[in-house]
Amino acid sequence: MNTLKDTQDLYQIVYEHYANKIRFGLYREGDSLPTIEKISGQFNISINTVRQSLINLERDGFIRLTRGRPAIVTITYSDDECRERYIEHFTARHDALEELRAFLPGIFAKTLLHAFYFMKPKDSEKLMDLLLQTSFEDSLPFFYPLRFVLASLGNPLLESVHLDASMFTYLSPKKMSAIGLPYDLGTFASFLNGFSQLSDFKATGDYAGMCQVLTRVCRLLSEQIGLLNKEVTDRFGKNPNQLPFVWHIQAGRPQVYYNVAVSIIADIRKGVYKNQEFLPTPATLAEKYGVSLISIRRTIALLNSVGMTETINGCGTRISLYRKPLESLDLSSPGTRKSLIFYLMGLQLVTINVRTVAQESFNAITPERIDEIIRLYEQETQSRNYLYTHGQILKTVFYSHKNSEIRAIFSPLIHIMSWGIPLSYLGDSDMDAKGEELDLLISLLKSGDKESFARQLEMNSWNILIRKRQKLMDAGLTDAETIRIPALEILNLASDSIHFNSH
């Protein structure tokens, strides 16, 4: 494992985005790219990362950089070359696009419903302004209006998924119509009308009506991807080298040592490192996780700050599970604060979508896997320390789903969920509450009641989000308040009113 690759991925995301725009003919020789500040805001990454991406683009002959001015495009592809590259983009993504469109409507519509719910009434006017600025000529027409709505949930992870999905599908009406693909002014007008209606429904608080429009708009989006895929395959064939969808968790992303800390927590869960044992030396850990000694020292400081480990002078760092509760958190480190907020972001995303995923994956969970979960649950029941069972159930639900793109999006969240483990030791214990919730969830897992299991898994995640968020706010992490708690009435409305047929 080389966590430094995450940083390299960030450079590559921006690089590929603008390289593709140039290859597709959306930027021509002499055109200016957005400023570094605007690119930083769009991708929610640092100015230094943007600057490195632009340096790489200049190195490869795409742009010219001049101090104090936006980058200038220095290359132009012919119309035939642009057409060929745009077609190639889709022929290599046929399989992933089919899987994306199979689940995207349900996940996207329900997430948008929550986002609209938390959007301030006055923001309806801002949304309308963004829609009025939307043009058929835009490379990604509805990117900014959708991003504006999603921002109301206070969760950059959602904006990150939206960014990667938008760049992967790249439904550019201008380029699609130029090569005779099915996206015309009528389709564009349907999307624009749908989003305008959503803004109106927000102004009146009509969330039932909003569900109907979201269903229609997201179904249209899925149909457009399907028509595009069929048209491209029929006319140009299918590329044997298919590219998967990959979610690069760049927005809100913590530093390298956060990822190492979560990996160590996961290894503790697996029994690689046992309670009261000492961790390997920093040099050994640095080699194992592919990072510097400085990153390992920061990792250990981070684990110590939340009570997961304790460093003893002259001895090393010891795993400190099941010790007395922490009275406070050391929030002096920006890395600690960012890591804990990152956990809440992941938990919010899980809470909004886990019922939908669980309903679809329940029947694929094997009896052997259920037995493993029950054994873990029984072990934790004996110790009254419910640290891992909920996470293992989530992992099972996400990994059992037949759609590989579901797994691509939600699998990274399992890694993030490990960060909730040390919070169990902060303040008043919530083990009794977790035990009661798991009792019911395990009984439903055994019973085979898919709908009740999915609903209870959603409720358990919702309760955990409330408790962990409150613990962090009580500990002085004021930023935790920005992570919204999904409203129960909206969770239920979404489940009852937003439905799509599987493809």
3-state SS of 24-55 is: CCCCCCCCECCCHHHHHHHHCCCHHHHHHHHH
Cα separation, 431 vs 436, in Å, equals 9
Distances (CA, A) of 222 to 26, 229, 358, 502: 24, 11, 21, 11
With a CB cutoff of 8 Å and minimum separation 6, the contacts of 51 are 36
Under 8 Å between Cβ of 58 and 11: no
pLDDT at 323: 57
Mean pLDDT of 422-437: 80
Three-state SS at 393: helix
Q: Do domains 5-73 and 256-319 have the same CATH topology?
A: yes
Query: What are the residues facing 72 on neighbouring strands?
Result: 32, 64
186 confidence band (pLDDT: 50, 70, 90): confident
Cα separation, 328 vs 161, in Å, equals 33
> Helix 185-204 and helix 123-132: axis angle, to 10°?
170
pLDDT at 212: 96
Under 8 Å between Cβ of 170 and 20: yes
Domain with residues 334-497, CATH architecture: Up-down Bundle (1.20)
Whose CA is closest to 174, among 24, 20, 34? 24
Three-state SS at 307: coil
CATH value of 256-319 in 1.10.10.10, 1.10.150.120, 3.40.50.300, 3.40.50.720: 1.10.10.10
pLDDT at 150: 92
With a CB cutoff of 8 Å and minimum separation 6, the contacts of 251 are 43, 44, 45, 156, 157, 159, 160, 163
pLDDT at 181: 64
Q: Which two three-digit tokens encode residue 363?
A: 């029947």
Cα separation, 338 vs 464, in Å, equals 19
Query: What are the residues facing 318 on neighbouring strands?
Result: 278, 310
Question: With 80 as the cut, is the pLDDT of residue 177 above it?
Answer: no
With a CB cutoff of 8 Å and minimum separation 6, the contacts of 291 are 2, 3, 4, 256, 257, 260, 299
With a CB cutoff of 8 Å and minimum separation 6, the contacts of 452 are 444
Query: What are the residues facing 301 on neighbouring strands?
Result: none
Mean pLDDT of 385-390: 85
How many other C-beta atoms are found inside a 10 Å radius of the C-beta of residue 103?
23
What DSSP designation does 165 have?
Answer: H
Distances (CA, A) of 259 to 128, 236, 282, 419, 493: 39, 42, 16, 10, 36
Question: With 50 as the cut, is the pLDDT of residue 5 above it?
Answer: no
Under 8 Å between Cβ of 453 and 441: yes
> Degrees (nearest 5) of the Cα angle 40, 44, 47?
35
Kindly list the domain boundaries of the chain, sorted by start residue.
5-73, 90-236, 256-319, 334-497
Spelled out in words, what is the top-level CATH class assigned to the domain 5-73? mainly alpha
Under 8 Å between Cβ of 145 and 195: yes
Element (H, E) at 70: strand 69-73
Q: Which two three-digit tokens encode residue 493?
A: 């409305």
How many other C-beta atoms are found inside a 10 Å radius of the C-beta of residue 357?
26
- What's the sign of the alpha-carbon dihedral 53, 57, 58, 59? positive
Q: Which amino acid, 463?
A: N
Cα separation, 457 vs 347, in Å, equals 12
The 10s digit of each residue's pLDDT in 45-92 is 778 889 999 999 999 999 999 988 999 999 988 888 888 888 888 889
The 10s digit of each residue's pLDDT in 129-152 is 988 888 777 767 788 899 899 999
Mean pLDDT of 206-214: 96
Query: What are the residues facing 66 on neighbouring strands?
Result: 69
Q: Which two three-digit tokens encode residue 263?
A: 């990996």
With a CB cutoff of 8 Å and minimum separation 6, the contacts of 301 are 333
Cα separation, 286 vs 290, in Å, equals 6
With a CB cutoff of 8 Å and minimum separation 6, the contacts of 451 are 359
Element (H, E) at 71: strand 69-73
Query: What are the residues facing 353 on neighbouring strands?
Result: none
As a residue count, the chain comes to: 503
User: Which carries the bigger pLDDT value, residue 323 or residue 474?
Assistant: 474
Q: Strands 309-312 and 69-73: what pairing?
A: unpaired
DSSP E strands in 223-351: the ranges are 309-312, 316-319
Question: With 70 as the cut, is the pLDDT of residue 184 above it?
Answer: no
pLDDT at 420: 75
pLDDT at 355: 96
State in Å, rounded, how far the first CA of the chain is from the last one: 35
Question: With 70 as the cut, is the pLDDT of residue 252 above it?
Answer: no
Cα separation, 386 vs 431, in Å, equals 6
Query: What are the residues facing 317 on neighbouring strands?
Result: 311
User: Which carries the bigger pLDDT value, residue 227 or residue 421?
Assistant: 227
CATH number of 90-236: 1.20.120.530
Whose CA is closest to 476, among 262, 323, 351, 326? 326
Mean pLDDT of 150-162: 87
Residue with tokens 């835009």: 138
- The CA dihedral of 398, 162, 140, 105, to the nearest 10 degrees, is 50
